[in-house]
Amino acid sequence: MITHTPEPGRALWIYAHPRRTSLNGHLLDAGAAALSKRYDVTVSDLYGEGFDPVLAERDLGRAAPDPGSIVELAGEAYRKGEIPEDVRREQGRLAAAELLILQFPLWWYGPPAILKGWFDRVLTNGFAYGDLDPERGVPRRYGDGGLRGRKALVVVTAGEDAGSIGPRGISGDIDSVLFPLTHGTLWYVGIDVPRLHVVHDADGLGDTGVERETDRLLQRLEGLDAEAPLPYRRLRDGEYRGTRALREDLLPGRTDLGIHLREE
């Protein structure tokens, strides 16, 4: 696995909404323009660029007919330079960026399928993760992947209010709902993640609400460089020794997702 050193001052905005005339499109335009004052911003408009989210045999190179794990075959295709051009383009954008913005609407309590497919095809073995830590003998994952040294802000618009997707909400706490993204995807490959940026009641915002949410996003972006990431535990630090379950002596009796955050 190659560790990809980001280029200072480069940002990648990954936009996963089918309409540029939507609230999301407005937030993208305003946010990217503001961020461009400090960064060289590239926008990956997944719908607009026609990104195909379906992982298929074309992603496995000449080894596609061979038996074996898709993970390993995709990694082999990456190492041999046999990955499709669209994946190569996105990997190049990602490798260059020190700051990522992932923007999407919450659909069925997760990102749109096109963004999930972007992860499936772009975060390949050998590019985003792989290898063992030679000192500790554990996989270089969860804080120690090939994309460490980056920060990713997740910007999500939700039709529900803050109560229904809050800590006691009927739809589940948004931090827990998106834990597979923030921890299981981004932190897995070494990307730091600050707290989510959530736009609630996104379907019912009037002009005043849109202006308020635009200003709030711009303020968040303005201070983002100084924000500390969520203090997720790293695999390499020995707190998951043996079974990959958190050691029994740490927060005994608890089973909630918050156990994977170090207490500050």
**pLDDT at 134 (0 to 100):** 67
CATH class for the region spanning 10-236: alpha beta
List beta partners, residue 42: 12
Give Cα separations from 34 to 5, 41, 127, 218, 219 (angstroms). Answer: 25, 10, 30, 7, 10
Mean pLDDT of 22-36: 96
Q: What is the mean pLDDT of residues 187-208?
A: 94
Cβ pair 156, 178 in contact under 8 A: yes
Q: Per-residue pLDDT tens for 123-182?
A: 999 999 987 666 766 778 899 888 999 999 999 999 988 899 988 999 999 999 999 999
According to DSSP, the residues that pair with 13 across neighbouring strands are 43, 101
Chain segment 33-80, per-residue pLDDT in tens: 999 999 999 999 999 999 999 999 999 999 888 898 999 999 999 999
pTM: 0.93
Nearest in space to 24 (alpha carbons), one of 120, 115, 87:
115
Q: Which residues of 81-90 are buried (b: 16+ CB within 10 A; e: fewer)?
A: ebbeebbeeb
Q: 130: alpha, beta or left, given left = phi > 0 and alpha = psi -120 to 50?
A: left
pLDDT band at 102 (very low <50, low <70, confident <90, very high): very high
Cβ–Cβ under 8 Å, residues 16 and 46: yes
By C-alpha distance, which of 9, 79, 77 is closest to 38?
9
- pLDDT band, very low/low/confident/very high, at 263 (cuts 50, 70, 90): confident
**Residues 7-19 pLDDT 10s:** 999 999 999 999 9
| Residue 1 clears pLDDT 70, i.e. is over it | no
Place 207 in a pLDDT band, splitting at 50, 70 and 90: confident
Q: If you average pLDDT over residues 221-247, what whole number do you get?
A: 91
Q: Kindly state the average pLDDT of the residues 259-264.
A: 88
Confidence of residue 83 (pLDDT cuts 50, 70, 90): very high
Q: What percent of the chain has pLDDT over 70?
A: 97
Mean per-residue pLDDT, 103-132: 94
CB atoms closer than 10 angstroms to residue 62: 11
The long-range contacts involving 82-88, CB below 8 angstroms and separated by at least 24 positions, are: 83/59, 83/124, 84/58, 84/59, 86/51, 86/52, 87/59, 87/121, 87/122, 87/124
